[in-house]
A and B are shown apart, each in its own frame.
Chain A
């Protein structure tokens, strides 16, 4: 299937068309249509809804541990109600459960929401639509990809309910803490479930990633040259390549950890005395784990970020009614970021005992990434320059993304500098940095995508005013949560501390922690506006028109119905790039990609 060209699929489709009179009547059982669907549009919705549920879980966790951090020792009925008497006795959070919450919060957000949820939803929805394909190269693998993701989500969620509690060694699960059940209760069954869940997650990610790459390379419709693809598709392609190359390393990392845990091997363990006895393991090194983990872990940052940047490129251009500025530079930057992301992982390890000279190399490669990142930020801003900006909720979130990408990006320059990293490594300065640059940017990109492509996903419109309310609550509260954390970092507060009030050093930081927590609670409640808008609009939103945002890309040429094969007749033929907005001499301020070039008309930015 992988090598099948679009033309062959097309023949197959037309033959199929002859046999069955009308696709829409084509009998599909409920299970085929809604459960084990092989249709990219349905799979995309399945990913999105699963991710929304996981995000609500992870966000609720963050509210619980933020309450503990702002008001340590206070009794909260809410905490007792959420965690029960075992982990929230008298409404006070248990220290082990605190670590479990930060661990699972991070794991769910990074992997299940911003990797599975973001790529799974939008790569699935947009790749076939925007390259002009009937579906993914392999609908079956695509279905498997979702169901592996689903099972993995279920296992991760189930681990919250076991007796010893879920994994609690931090989302980076460094051994020996994660390897030794004596070290922390979360390293008993909880960690095994975490490792199994993540392995299934990687299977899902690989099945999806292979499909995305093959579909983009082989199933582009006639005229859809690589240099005519929307930047969304470029972003998903590069993301998928990063995932396919780096996720397998996480599996090897995880398998070796499983061996250390269960089979008595010593890949990561050496010279350990715990639980009143010396262990037999000698010769292993936790630093090996860190190398393997971050070999995935750093590309993972861009696996999270690039799809959001791709979505934003599309939304900013459409809503500014202007071509994306520097289309080729945008592709070049993404390729450069993708390449560099593989040779920077050591900047997570400056303080691990790794040879300082090796650290120097990673300082250099890491700071190089700032260049393509800066180019992207400048290009977004210049795209808005002299535009005719239409403030859809998607556009608001895209602007929010550019802002957080810059605000969080600049502190990366500090952290990439090993000298400066010495004193802020593993402090709240790092927490602030990655939440703003990766967390906020990616989730803003995801919101932008949901608001923008909701009409294609659910054939209805979301409510604009509620979208506005949601955006302003989210943007202001997000900065209210994460900006003050820089100052906690400057005061030297280490991350993953259950409380900052156990010794005097941080006693003067109480108000910072309170502001952070209050903003987190308001921001979390604000997401209720989104949840309501989302679920309400699925069933009761206004009916979506053909092309609500006057966009150029191919998905808006498909009928407003979910039909198998996307286009009822033959596939569209592409004649121009995706960014002919406000082109001089045109009647309207957009020209869909299927409109042929006029005589003497230049295509794209090639002049």
Chain B
């Protein structure tokens, strides 16, 4: 078998070489030089440029039509709805710029394809025109900056809501755990030197504030709807990133630092499962899963790792359940208090 493949390759090379000799010899007979661009070439390439533009734009709209409804569902958080609105405004603007400038580029390539008769116009510059296309983008960008920064400040520097829920996310290779403050409303101090089997999150066992913390919560976390969630993030080993795409929330988890992100989830998991957009998206997912012979699934909010962190980076996620207040309290009551967990060990 290998011999046959080798033989085929050798024969191909010989055939190719012979073909080249023929081309080279016939080239010697012709007077025109192969590399010279002729009017025929210009016509052909000019038209090809225009045709490409049509295909390119058609491809763009085909993709939008086919794949837009597979993008993330509408935001499930208060600030996320603002981000979505800002996103839409910006994306429409850049789509127009993309289409118009590419149109002119390829249209000019077609329209001004060279001929032997015509001569190009000697135009060096035009101050008015250049001024216009400096100022117009500048004004557009001013709006983009103003709105972008307005929302950025609102999202990143909000005052603490009095009834906020503090959740600590703790990242390590390759899973997430969570910790909630106990009745005192305070998270205990941490000390990475005290990490061991029973104290996987590295809590400081001498800090009484941590004794009632609900720690080492794995696989899924629950948060209440319509209350501010303050995420505090730590990492045990390398940089991870807590990415909650459905809530439009993301922040790196950096060893040696505590980072934060605040958001208010405004749709419970149960509501989201019945959302028409989500239902359609999940139907698509389940159709594909059926092809792979996998069981159908329901929608769940996810926390993903979004910073390269090692071999199983792709598999470091956790479910997030948004509950009604009552369900949340019921879930919270079932979680283990840190001190009993240590004692149990």
| B331 proximal to A (CB < 8 A) | no
Per-residue contact bits, chain A 60-91, to B (CB 8 Å; 1 contact, 0 not): 00000000000000000000000000000000
B6 at the interface (CB under 8 A from A): no
Is the Cβ of A183 less than 8 Å from the Cβ of B173? yes
Given the known interface contacts A391-B45, A426-B307, the answer about A604 and B236 at a Cβ–Cβ threshold of 8 Å is: no
Q: Give the chain A neighbours of B287 by CB distance below 8 A.
A: 508
Q: Tell which of B55, B67, B68, B193 has the most Cβ of chain A within 10 Å.
A: B67
Query: Is B308 touching A170 in the complex (CB atoms < 8 A)?
Result: yes
Q: Give every chain B residue within 8 A of A583 (Cβ-Cβ).
A: 122
A271 to B281, CA, bound (A): 42
Contacts A508-B284, A548-B35, A583-B122: A356 and B157 contacting too (C-beta < 8 A)? yes
| Contact pick for A273, options B134, B155, B202, B307, CB 8 Å | B202
Q: Is B238 an interface residue (CB 8 A)?
A: yes
For residue A577, give the distance in angstroms from its CB to the closest CB of chain B.
Answer: 9
Tally of B interface residues using CB under 8 Å: 118
A463 to B70, CA, bound (A): 44
In the complex, which residues of chain A have a beta carbon less than 8 angstroms from the beta carbon of B42? 389-391
Contact check, B257 vs A464: say whether CB atoms are below 8 A apart: no
Find out whether the CB atom of B255 lies under 8 angstroms from the CB atom of A542: no
Complex-state Cα separation, A386 to B200, whole angstroms: 70
A384's partner among B108, B129, B238, B292 (CB-CB below 8 A) is B108
Shortest Cβ gap from A172 to chain B (Å)? 9
CA distance A548 to B34 in the complex (A): 12
Specify which of B157, B252, B304 lies most central, judged by the most chain A CB atoms within 10 Å of its CB. Answer: B252
User: Which of B46, B138, B145 contacts A391, CB < 8 Å?
Assistant: B46
* Chain B residues with CB below 8 A from A418, complex form: 148-149, 152
The answer to whether A99 touches B97, judged by C-beta atoms less than 8 angstroms apart, is no
The answer to whether A504 and B297 have CB atoms under 8 Å apart is: yes
Q: Is A285 an interface residue when CB atoms closer than 8 A count as contact?
A: yes
Q: Chain B binding site: helix, strand, loop or mixed by DSSP?
A: helix
B241:A351 contact, CB within 8 angstroms: yes
Contact status of A423 and B248, CB under 8 A, knowing A177-B238, A183-B238, A604-B124 = yes
Residues of A within 8 A of B105 (CB): 380-381, 384, 399, 402-403, 406
**B residues less than 8 Å from A411 (CB atoms):** 94
> Across the interface, do A322 and B120 meet the contact criterion of CB distance under 8 Å?
yes
Given contacts A285-B256, A422-B248, A582-B120, contact A417 B137 (CB under 8 A): no
B285 and A507 contacting across the interface, CB-CB below 8 Å: yes
Whether a CB of chain A sits under 8 angstroms from the CB of B14 is no
CB distance A371 to B125 under 8 Å? no
Report the Cα distance A110→B305, complex, angstroms.
25
Query: Which of A371, A399, A419 interacts with B137 by CB under 8 Å?
Result: A371
- Does the CB pair B94–A359 fall under 8 Å? no
In whole Å, how far is A445's beta carbon from the nearest beta carbon of chain B? 15
CB-CB contacts below 8 Å: B40-81 with A: 41-42, 45-46, 48-49, 52, 55-56, 59-60, 63, 67-68, 70-72, 80
CA A579 – CA B306 in complex, angstroms?
A: 49
B102 touches A272 (CB 8 A): no
Cross-chain contact B151 with A419 (CB below 8 angstroms): yes
**Residue of B63, B130, B310 most packed against chain A (CB within 10 A):** B310
Which residues of B have CB within 8 Å of A379?
130
**Chain A residue at minimal CB-CB distance from B94:** A410
Interface pair A176/B239, CB less than 8 Å apart: yes
Chain B residues within an 8 Å CB radius of A328: 125
Tell yes or no: A194 within 8 A of B by CB: no
Q: Please tell me if A248 contacts chain B, counting CB pairs below 8 Å.
A: no
A2 contacts the other chain (CB 8 A)? no
Decide if A382 touches B137 in the complex (CB within 8 Å). Answer: no
Q: Once the chains are docked, how many angstroms separate the CA of A407 from the CA of B241?
A: 28
Whether A419 and B152, one on each chain, are in contact in the complex, defined by CB atoms closer than 8 angstroms, is yes
**Chain A residues positioned under 8 Å from B115 (CB to CB):** 388
Contact across chains for A322 and B314 when beta carbons are under 8 A apart: no
In the complex the two chains form, what is the Cα distance from A389 to B59 in whole Å? 26
Within 8 A of A (CB), among B290-345: 292, 294, 297, 302, 304-315, 317
Between B94, B195, B307, B308, the greatest number of chain A beta carbons within 10 A of the residue's beta carbon is seen for: B308
Please state if B249 and A413 are interface contacts (CB–CB under 8 Å).
no
Are B35 and A461 closer than 8 Å at their CB atoms? yes
State whether B101 touches A507 (Cβ < 8 A): no
Binds A, one of B84-92, B221-229, B269-277: B84-92
A363 touches B149 (CB 8 A): yes
Contact status A425-B257, CB under 8 Å: no
A272 and B192 contact, CB distance less than 8 A: yes
Given A96-B311, A351-B241, the answer on whether A285 and B257 have CB atoms closer than 8 Å is yes
Q: What's the Cα separation between A484 and B312 when bound, in Å?
A: 25
Q: Is the CB of A286 within 8 A of B255?
A: yes
Whether A531 sits at the interface, judged by CB under 8 Å, is: no
Point out the residues of chain B lying under 8 angstroms from A356, CB to CB.
152-153, 156-157
**Is A605 positioned at the interface, with any CB of B under 8 Å from its CB?**
yes
- B254 pairs with A497, CB closer than 8 A: no
Whether A176 pairs with B255 at a CB distance below 8 angstroms is yes
* A364 and B145 form a contact (CB under 8 A): yes
Instruction: Count contacts on A: residues with CB < 8 A to the other chain.
Output: 130
Residues B124 and A464 in contact, CB atoms below 8 Å apart:
no
User: Cβ of A287: which chain B residues have Cβ within 8 Å of it?
Assistant: 254, 257
List chain A residues, Cβ under 8 A from B252. 351-353
Report yes or no: A413 in contact with B94, Cβ–Cβ below 8 A.
yes
B52 touches A507 (CB 8 A): no
Instruction: Give residues 1-43 of B contacting A (CB, 8 Å).
Output: 20, 24, 27, 33-37, 41-42
Is A505 at the interface (CB under 8 A from chain B)?
yes
A97: nearest chain-B partner, CB-CB: B311
Task: Say if the beta carbon of A462 comes within 8 Å of chain B.
Answer: yes
List B contacts of A270 (CB < 8 A): 255-256
Contacts A392-B37, A413-B90, A422-B250 given; does A180 touch B238 at CB 8 Å: yes
A323 to B306, CA, bound (A): 47
**B112 close to A414 (CB less than 8 A):** no
- Whether B101 lies near A377 (C-beta < 8 A) is yes
Give the complex CA separation of A96 and B308 in angstroms: 11
In the bound complex, what is the Cα–Cα distance between A223 and B46 (angstroms)? 38
Q: Are A375 and B239 in contact (CB under 8 A)?
A: no
Set of chain A residues within 8 Å of B124, measured between Cβ atoms:
323, 325-327, 579, 604-605, 607
Most buried by A among B93, B129, B156, B311: B311
Q: Is B251 an interface residue (CB 8 A)?
A: yes
A420: interface (CB < 8 Å):
yes
Q: Which of A184, A377, A384 contacts B310 (CB 8 A)?
A: A184
In the complex, the answer to whether B157 meets A504 with C-beta atoms within 8 Å is no
Look across to chain B and name the residue whose beta carbon is closest to the beta carbon of A173. Answer: B308
User: CB of A576 within 8 A of chain B?
Assistant: no
Q: How far is the CA of A500 from the CA of B309 in the complex (A)?
A: 16
A526 contacts chain B at the CB level, 8 A cutoff: no
Contact flags (1/0) for A551-566 with B, using CB distance below 8 Å? 0000000000000000
Asked, given contacts A381-B108, A407-B102, whether A272 binds B288 with beta carbons under 8 Å apart, the answer is no
Q: Is A217 an interface residue (CB 8 A)?
A: no
User: Is A278 a contact of B192 with CB atoms below 8 Å?
Assistant: yes
A576-598 contact mask (Cβ, 8 Å, vs B): 1 or 0: 00010111100001000000000
Within 359-402 of A, Cβ neighbours of B (below 8 Å) are at 359-360, 363-364, 367-368, 370-371, 374-375, 377-382, 384-392, 396, 399, 402
The answer, yes or no, to whether B217 is at the interface (CB within 8 Å) is no
Chain A residues near B236: list those with CB within 8 A.
272-274
B291 to chain A: closest CB distance in Å?
8
* Minimal Cβ-Cβ distance residue in B for A515: B63
Instruction: Assess the A423–B152 pair: CB atoms within 8 A.
Output: no
Q: What are 28 of the A-B contact pairs (CB < 8 Å)?
A: A176-B237, A183-B310, A272-B237, A274-B173, A325-B125, A353-B251, A356-B152, A357-B157, A364-B149, A367-B141, A367-B144, A382-B123, A385-B112, A387-B108, A391-B113, A417-B148, A419-B151, A420-B87, A425-B250, A484-B67, A487-B71, A492-B304, A496-B313, A507-B288, A507-B294, A508-B70, A540-B24, A589-B119
Extra A-B contacts (8), CB below 8 Å, given A271-B192, A386-B120: A183-B310, A328-B125, A389-B112, A396-B45, A413-B90, A419-B155, A487-B70, A505-B302
Q: Kindly list the 3 A-B residue pairs having the minimum CB-CB distance in the complex, ordered from nearest.
A: A270-B256, A490-B71, A605-B124
